Amino acid sequence: MTRKKIAAGNWKMNLTADQGQSLVGAIVQADRPSDVLTILGVPHPYLQAAVQQASANRGVQIAAQNMHEAISGAYTGEVSVDMLLSLGVRHVILGHSERREYQKESNELLKTKVDLALEKGLIPIFCCGESLDIRKSGEHVTYVSSQLQASLFHLSAEDFGKIVIAYEPIWAIGTGETASPEQAQEMHAAIRNLIKEKYGSDTAESCSILYGGSVKPANAKEIFGQSDVDGGLVGGASLKAEDFLSIIRSF
């Protein structure tokens, strides 16, 4: 079964409105492989403009970087799933390590967010990954497995099949450090095997698992060449059109 190749960019809290508009325009207008889905995770204030820019190009889709777990209510400064859907957003990044750390988002909270996103028709890009201490302890596979089991493994096979997983070794985010292609493959294979044990081969083989951790033009081809790596969730390198396009073309 052929898995979808995905190059996703996470802008985080970067770029002005004009800079963002220029970047989306450059990505949308460029020649890109037709078999690679490009997803741009832009800050909430830029979502509507980005969706409008990307609407004419089916190979580019827009993701929100987060959403609140409640449908609506007195949550000043938060963004709801219906708000995102009303703008034409179709993906949402959930469980990024920075939100787990800084906003103290738990596996249980993320379970609620995943359920709401799927109920409403948003596609979660679900992030998981371990710290340097956990990696050094040799417990990284167990730790990441527990994240998936706690937040996702209550889902039906049908709903699980809608999710994109992004494995991000926290020790390699924004540090310049990168997991070796072999380390990335080891964890991606472990994740796929865990899915296989829970949901069976068909679901496991159709699930796109992205690598996120200092992906750059210089290392993307080798990382994406691993048998269980289906693309990347790219941070800093997604902020420059030339770099991100090079990554998109590196499959």
In whole angstroms, what is the distance from residue 241 CA to residue 27 CA?
Answer: 6
Q: Which residue of the set 91, 96, 140, 188 is catalytic?
A: 96
For residue 235, count CB atoms less than 10 angstroms from its CB and return exposed for 0-12, middle for 13-18, buried for 19 or more: buried
Report the sign of the C-alpha dihedral through residues 82, 78, 6, 34, in that order: positive
- Nearest CA among 192, 204, 95 for reference residue 150: 95
Pairing of strands 60-64, 5-10: unpaired
Assess contact for 231 and 7: CB atoms under 8 A: yes
Note if 96 is an active site residue.
yes
Note if 168 is an active site residue.
yes
- Nearest CA among 180, 204, 97 for reference residue 144: 97
Q: Which residue of the set 91, 98, 168, 188 is catalytic?
A: 168
Which residues are marked as active site? 96, 168
